[in-house]
Amino acid sequence: MASQWMKKFSRLAVKCILRFVQLCTHALLWIFYHGSGEQMPPIKDLLLLDTATALALKIRSQKVTSVQVMEVFISRIKEINPILNCVVDERFEAALEEAKEVDKLIQSGTKTSAEIEKETPFLGVPFSTKDCLQVKGLCHTAGLYCRKDVRAAGDAAAIAAMRKAGAIPLALTNVSEVCMWWESNNTVHGRTSNPYNTHHIVGGSSGGEACLQAAAGSAFGIGSDIGGSIRMPAFFNGIFGHKPSKGIVSNHGQYPEPVGEQDSFLGIGPMCRFATDLVPVLRIISGKKADLLNLDEKVDVRKLKFYYMEHDGGSHLVSPVDGEIKDALRKVVTYLDKAYGIKAQKICLGKLRLSTAIWMAKMKVKGSPPFSEQLANCKGAVNVYLELLKWFLCISKHTFIGLATAITEDFGVEYGSDKHVYLLDQCRQLADELQDILGTDGVFLYPTHPTPAPYHNEPLVKPFNFSYTAIVNVLGLPATHCPLGLTRDGLPVGIQVIGSLNKDRHTLAVAVELEKAFGGWVPPSIKV
């Protein structure tokens, strides 16, 4: 009995110490960063406020030209990038030439508008993606300095699919080092800042992409997500982001490459300002596997069953869920009741407290290179302690968090150990429990992240806050982040909607419903 009390006391002590450190750090950063930072230039052209599908319709019906659309987005990127540093490479000239060819094709009349819509539904529409997905001719660094001169020889599968659908790649966006941290900062391209407050982070690793979307610099984007890398940035930047069911979208052309079972955790998906663009983009990048999702099947939100949790049950390694995020979730529950008489059921999944530990255990797979090797582009391994010394001397080509990750990796659960086996079993049990609850017509409302976008560097004292998204990856389920307005401080908040395997259409339908009810994306404050 005494030993149990000691364990409880030690856990409480650790939680209190961590919370104290986090509060002190937040206070210091508030003093240092107080204010809203540099604000965004105004959106001058209404084409920037169109959905991607609306732009495609206007182009093929000759309401506007593809060149006009391309020039508008290029101009917007040139305005915002000096402030945000979200775009790290571009193909403006090539994109304009391709847009001219699109306009010639449409003006020739060789194909009807209906034929164009069927064969190339996004003809002439510009899009962007992150610097870990191959875009032929653009840099392919994944934020790793030793890859700074690497150029993509071809397109990633998802990018090739979008090209085939007529969309035109325009820009490449910033990521975290090796795409394994939730602030987009690296020694190749630097740090990206949040358009709602430039003192705050954009998330990672698809942080530059979410930032560009939020600032209306691209019609839509493609991101990737192995622990929340689509949904966290979407949350911090107030846009929609979808992590598909496992195995639906090809990961070919992604760096770093997932190993073994990690391939089922990694999901490539759409990042959009408008919920209506999620399904059309997902349908294209899913290829033949889109049939598994039945995306054309109409979803009646009134017939779905809703479940929710306001927090993970109290993990002592994770920040408490912010009150304004809880309020946003409760507003959704209230809306469902008042609008449709849907009584969302509050549930308790105790194993969610183990989300961080489960994700880390599942990421341990045979053949996966240690992080010290990934920092060396899998050509040998870096001496992390020497690099850490160099970092303190400001001469290292790696980020502090990259080196810290390599050092702490050795202290994690050992592959095949009793603890590893236990955590894998907990994951299986959690998956079964959640599947039993959701069935074939249920969705689960859950915080995407416990706090609004932190200040730059603040994630260093909140390293495990990614657990709210990470657990969904190892469960293999679809999840859509939905923006729900801004906090009193002007930062985005929202929730993620999680569905049963291959029931992506349910979470996407809920996203459209919540956009109608709560307004979706809110443009960042502008210069006055």
User: What is the set of active-site residues?
Assistant: 130, 205, 229
Rounded CA separation 486/197 (Å): 12
| β-pair partners for 271 | 221, 241
Rounded CA separation 408/410 (Å): 5
How would you label 92-113 residue by residue, b for 16+ Cβ within 10 Å and e otherwise? Answer: beebbebbeebbebbeeeebee
Would you state the structure tokens that stand for residue 284, as one six-digit string?
A: 């294209």
Contact of 85 with 77, CB cutoff 8 Å: no
User: Is the Cα torsion angle 86, 461, 381, 411 positive or negative in sign?
Assistant: negative
Q: In angstroms, how far is CA 130 from the centroid of its own chain?
A: 10
Report the DSSP pairing between strands 126-130 and 168-173.
Answer: parallel
What are residue 197's phi and psi, to 5 degrees?
-165, 110
- Residue keyed to tokens 């009810």: 517
Q: What would the DSSP string read from start to end of 279-341?
A: HHHHHHHHGGGGGGGTTTS---GGGSEEEE-SSSS--TTSPPPPHHHHHHHHHHHHHHHHHH-
Instruction: Collapse the DSSP code of 502 into the 3-class scheme (helix H, G, I; strand E, B; otherwise coil) and give the result.
Output: coil
Contact of 168 with 124, CB cutoff 8 Å: yes
User: Is the Cα torsion angle 57, 62, 65, 66 positive or negative in sign?
Assistant: positive
Would you state the structure tokens that stand for residue 336, as one six-digit string?
A: 């469902």
